[in-house]
């Protein structure tokens, strides 16, 4: 890191599409693939559930609170 920028450049670390890295990651995931699948699925469900609350609040305000206060 002598005469460097103080951080790693992209070409030193490798690319996101580097096939060797993905083969190694899949090798680690293969024994527990069902748990990884469940974890990803649950995180998607939790994200969807967290995004529905603001939508429901907006819908309630637009349809009931504003309409009742104007009338």
DSSP string, the chain: -TTS-SS--HHHH--TT-HHHHHHHHHHHGGGHHHHHHHHHHHHHHHHHHHHHHHHHHHHIIIIIHHHHH-
pLDDT score at 71:
56
d(CA 9, CA 11): 6
pTM: 0.55
Q: Which residues contact 21 (CB under 8 A, 6 or more apart)?
A: 14
pLDDT score at 12:
59
pLDDT score at 10:
57
pLDDT in tens, 24-53: 999 999 999 999 999 999 999 999 999 999
pLDDT score at 46:
97
**Cβ(14)–Cβ(21) below 8 Å:** yes
């Amino acid at each position: 890191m002598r005469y460097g920028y103080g951080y790693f450049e992209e070409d030193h670390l490798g690319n996101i599409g580097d096939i060797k890295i993905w083969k190694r990651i899949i090798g680690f995931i293969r024994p527990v693939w069902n748990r990884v699948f469940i974890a990803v699925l649950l995180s998607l469900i939790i994200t969807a559930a967290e995004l529905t609350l603001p939508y429901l609040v907006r819908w309630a305000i637009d349809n009931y609170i504003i309409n009742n206060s104007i009338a």
